[in-house]
C-alpha cells in the first residue's frame, strides 16, 4: 500500500474492517437462538447438528472454488461477488417458513463468507505493502468483534419473532460491506497477483510440512470454535444457566478473540521462534481447563470457563496470522490459504456434527466435554510444530 494516496489507504483499512466484521456475526448469532429456531420449525436435535455443521462444511466446499474464481475475476471481484451472495442469504433466511429453506439460505450466507475467509489474507498480502501487519491486525481483531457481538443481538428483541430479528439484523452491516467493496472492485479491476517465480519451480502446497501442520492446527482450532459457537450456549442452559448469561458466555469467548486478533499478528512478526512455539501450548492448556470446568462446575463458573475457552481460542487468530507470516509470494499466500482453510474447515465441520449425534444418542454433555478436553492436547502438539519459523516458499522449492 506504499505510494498510494492517504484516502485510498483509509478506504483499504475500512474495506478490511467491514469484511472482517461480517465473517462471524451472521454465524454465531444462530447458535444463540438455536433452541428457539429448532422449536419454531419443529425440527429434531439431529437437524440442529446439521445447522451447526453447515459453516464448516460450506467453508470447505466453497473455499476450494475461491482461488480459481479469483484467477478469473481477480481477488477484489471474487470477494465482492461472495459478499453479494451472502447478503442475499442474510436478507431472506430469517423469514422462511421451514427448516430446509433456512438451511439452503444459510448455504448462501456461508458461501460468501467462505470466499472472504480464503481470499482476504491474500488480498491483504497483495495490497497491504508496509501496512500488511497492521491490516492483518485489523482483520483478526475485528473478526473477534463480530464474534463477540453476534450472540448479543438476541438481547435486543423479544416476542415470538425475536430470533428472526436477531439474525436478520446482521444483514445491515452486510449492506455496508457491499457498498464499500463495489467501488473497491472498480478501483482494483483484475488484481490476482502475477507469478514472481517460474511455473513449476515449486512443489505442490501439500508437500510443505509447515503448510500441512498449519492446516491441521487451523482445522482443530476451528473444530473447537464451531462446536463452541453452535453448542456452548445450550451446554450452559442445560446446566441451569439463564439464556441471557449463556449468550454472554459465548460473547466472552468472542471478546478474547478480539484480544487475540489485536496481538497475534504483531506477536508472530516480533516474537522469536523458540518462544512463539509455546503459544499454542499455553492456549491449548487454557482450553483444556475451560472444558474441564464446564464439565464439572458449569453453572457455578460459566464466566470463568468462557474466559478460559476464549483464551484457548487465541489459536484461531494465530493460525490465520501464520498464513501470510509463513509465506513470501502473494500467490503462495493464496495457495496456502486455499489449502489450509477448506481442508481445515472440512475437519472442523465434523465436530459440530459429531457433538450433535453423540448428544442425541446419550443425552449427556459429560462424555463430550471430556473428549474435547483430551483433544486440546493434540491441538497443542500440532500448534507447536505449525508455529516454527519456516516459510512455505522455501519448503516448496526444496521439495522440487
pLDDT in tens, 22-80: 988 888 888 778 888 888 988 876 777 788 778 778 777 887 888 889 999 999 999 99
Q: Is 147 part of a structural domain of the chain?
A: yes
**CA 229/CA 351 separation, integer angstroms:** 11
d(CA 45, CA 31): 13
pLDDT confidence of residue 340:
87
At residue 218, φ and ψ (nearest 5 deg) are -60, -45
CATH number of residue 307's parent domain: 1.20.1250.20
Q: Which three cell numbers stand for residue 246?
A: 449463556
Q: Which residue has the cell 438476541?
A: 154
H or E element in which residue 42 lies: none
Cα dist from 45 to 53, 102, 145, 360, whole Å:
13, 15, 29, 7
Rounded to whole angstroms, the Cα distance separating 362 from 354 reads 12
What is the 3-class SS of 102-129, one letter each residue?
HHHHHHHHHHHHHHHHHHHHHHHHHHHH
End-to-end CA distance of the chain: give it in Å, rounded.
33
DSSP 140: H
Reference 9, options 135, 190, 183; nearest CA is 135
Residues of the chain where predicted confidence (pLDDT) is lower than 50: 197-201
pLDDT score recorded for residue 199: 44
Structurally, the chain folds into a number of domains equal to 1
Question: Domain of 72?
Answer: 6-399
Tell me if 1 is assigned to some domain.
no
Q: Is 38 helix (H, G, I), strand (E, B) or coil?
A: helix
Smallest Cα–Cα separation from 324: which of 273, 270, 392? Answer: 392
Tell me the pLDDT tens digit for each residue of 173-185: 999 999 999 999 9
What residue spans of the chain are helical by DSSP H? 6-21, 25-32, 34-41, 45-64, 66-73, 75-92, 99-128, 132-149, 162-168, 171-188, 209-238, 243-270, 273-276, 279-296, 302-312, 315-325, 330-362, 366-386, 392-399
Only one residue has cell 497475534, namely 264
Cell for 218?
487451523
Is there a domain that residue 102 lies in?
Answer: yes
In angstroms, rounded to a whole number, what is the distance separating the alpha carbons of residues 117 and 112? Answer: 9
Stated as kind and residue range, the H or E segment containing 190 is none
Amino acid at each position: 500500500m506504499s505510494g498510494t494516496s492517504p484516502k485510498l489507504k483509509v478506504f483499504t483499512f475500512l474495506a478490511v474492517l467491514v469484511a472482517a466484521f461480517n465473517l462471524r456475526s451472521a454465524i454465531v448469532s444462530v447458535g444463540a437462538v438455536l433452541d428457539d429456531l429448532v422449536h419454531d420449525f419443529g425440527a429434531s436435535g439431529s437437524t440442529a447438528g446439521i445447522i451447526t455443521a453447515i459453516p464448516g462444511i460450506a467453508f470447505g466446499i466453497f473455499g476450494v472454488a475461491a482461488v480459481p474464481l479469483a484467477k478469473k475475476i481477480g481477488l477484489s471481484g471474487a470477494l465482492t461477488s461472495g459478499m453479494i451472495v451472502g447478503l442475499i442469504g442474510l436478507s431472506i433466511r430469517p423469514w422462511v417458513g421451514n427448516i430446509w429453506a433456512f438451511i439452503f439460505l444459510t448455504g448462501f450466507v456461508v458461501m460468501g463468507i467462505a470466499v472472504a475467509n480464503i481470499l482476504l489474507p491474500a488480498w491483504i498480502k497483495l495490497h497491504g505493502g508496509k501496512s500488511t501487519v497492521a491490516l492483518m491486525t485489523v482483520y483478526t481483531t475485528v473478526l473477534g468483534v463480530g464474534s463477540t457481538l453476534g450472540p448479543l443481538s438476541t438481547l435486543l428483541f423479544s416476542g415470538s419473532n425475536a430470533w428472526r430479528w436477531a439474525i436478520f439484523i446482521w444483514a445491515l452491516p452486510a449492506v455496508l460491506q457491499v457498498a464499500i467493496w463495489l467501488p473497491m472492485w472498480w478501483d482494483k479491476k483484475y488484481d490476482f497477483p502475477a507469478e514472481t517465480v517460474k511455473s513449476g519451480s515449486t512443489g505442490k502446497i501439500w508437500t510443505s510440512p509447515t503448510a500441512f501442520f498449519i492446516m491441521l492446527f487451523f482445522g482443530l482450532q476451528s473444530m473447537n470454535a464451531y462446536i463452541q459457537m453452535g453448542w456452548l450456549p445450550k451446554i450452559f442452559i442445560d446446566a441451569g444457566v439463564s439464556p441471557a448469561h449463556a449468550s454472554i458466555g459465548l460473547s466472552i469467548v468472542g471478546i478474547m478473540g478480539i484480544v487475540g486478533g489485536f496481538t497475534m499478528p504483531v506477536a508472530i512478526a516480533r516474537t522469536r521462534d523458540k518462544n512463539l512455539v509455546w503459544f499454542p501450548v499455553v492456549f491449548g492448556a487454557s482450553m483444556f481447563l475451560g472444558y474441564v470446568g464446564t464439565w464439572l462446575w458449569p453453572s457455578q463458573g460459566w464466566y470463568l470457563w468462557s474466559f478460559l475457552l476464549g483464551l484457548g481460542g487465541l489459536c484461531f487468530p494465530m493460525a490465520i496470522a501464520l498464513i501470510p507470516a509463513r509465506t513470501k509470494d502473494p500467490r503462495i499466500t493464496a495457495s496456502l490459504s486455499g489449502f489450509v482453510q477448506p481442508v481445515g474447515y472440512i475437519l472442523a465441520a465434523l465436530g459440530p456434527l459429531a457433538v450433535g449425534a453423540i448428544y442425541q444418542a446419550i443425552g449427556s454433555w459429560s462424555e463430550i466435554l471430556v473428549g474435547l478436553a483430551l483433544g486440546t492436547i493434540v491441538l497443542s502438539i500440532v500448534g507447536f510444530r505449525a508455529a516454527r519459523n519456516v516459510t512455505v516458499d522455501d519448503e516448496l522449492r526444496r521439495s522440487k
